[in-house]
Amino acid sequence: MTLNIFFCGYSYHTNRYHSQYKSGYPSYLFRLQTEGLCEVVVKGRKMELEKGDLLLIKPGDHYELLVNEGQNSGDYHLGCEGAWIDEWWSRSEKPPVSRIDLDEKLLSIWRHIMIEKRRPLHSQNEELAGYLLRALCLTLERAVNETVPSSLHPYTVTRMMRYIEEHATYPLKVGDVARHAGLSVSRSVHLFKSSIGKTIMEYVQEIRLSAAIERMKYTTMTLEQIAVDCGFGTYPYFHKVFKKKYGMAPGAYRRIE
């Protein structure tokens, strides 16, 4: 499916700025507020955007952007169209404005598209840009779905889960997870257990075991290397945790896989 990226960039406004599309925006627009404040009007509704606010506009939507005098406003933005985007947009509700985490992985994808679009036309890789755009859309969709009230878990718990998934193979303490969520250790422990049905460290071990099994199946790394690489520290501890979970030693598991 053809995808067209018309522009992708970052803007920082320090002076008054105003743009409007009263007859309808000509493409899909993704705009993520990363710094400061601005005002937008979408389909007649006026809203103030703050850091972490994601704006999603579809073709034909009335759209205005205003940065007032004395305000600073920084944002990532992207305009695109294509059959894949049409299908992606229609398969779930896309709120005009959602508050999401400014996740570095998401911003990295956005910056990667920016760099690709800066290249001279003859050296741009449209296939790569298309896959990056798909990745950005799916990442934005996940971020939006995890913040809506109907999510499976409270947003704070989801934040803790994502932090654990990203950092489980490194030395990790419950206090690290609690700080990321902006909670006390006792509150984070209670909230996580009541929502997920397991402790924070049990979830950490689950992620570590999953990573270890992947390496046992698809690499020639030694079990000692895997123990260190997946956050267990030492092989004896890895052996103990693995055998308790699966009823056999890691070496025996590897031989039958």
Domains of the chain: 3-145 (2.60.120.280), 153-257 (1.10.10.60)
Residues 104 and 97: their CA atoms lie apart, in Å, by 20
**pLDDT tens for each residue of the chain, 257 residues long:** 678 999 999 999 999 999 998 789 999 999 999 999 999 999 889 999 999 999 999 999 999 999 998 889 999 999 999 999 999 999 988 999 999 988 888 999 999 999 999 888 888 898 999 999 999 999 999 988 877 654 567 888 988 998 999 899 999 999 999 999 999 999 999 999 999 999 999 999 999 999 999 999 989 999 999 999 999 999 999 999 999 999 999 999 998 87
Residue 26 CA: distances (Å) to CA of 22, 129, 192, 223: 11, 20, 44, 56
Residues 68 and 54: their CA atoms lie apart, in Å, by 19
Q: Where are the beta strands (DSSP E) in the chain?
A: 3-13, 17-21, 28-36, 38-42, 45-49, 53-57, 63-67, 73-82, 97-99
Do the Cβ atoms of 164 and 177 come closer than 8 Å? yes
CA 240, chain centre distance (Å): 34
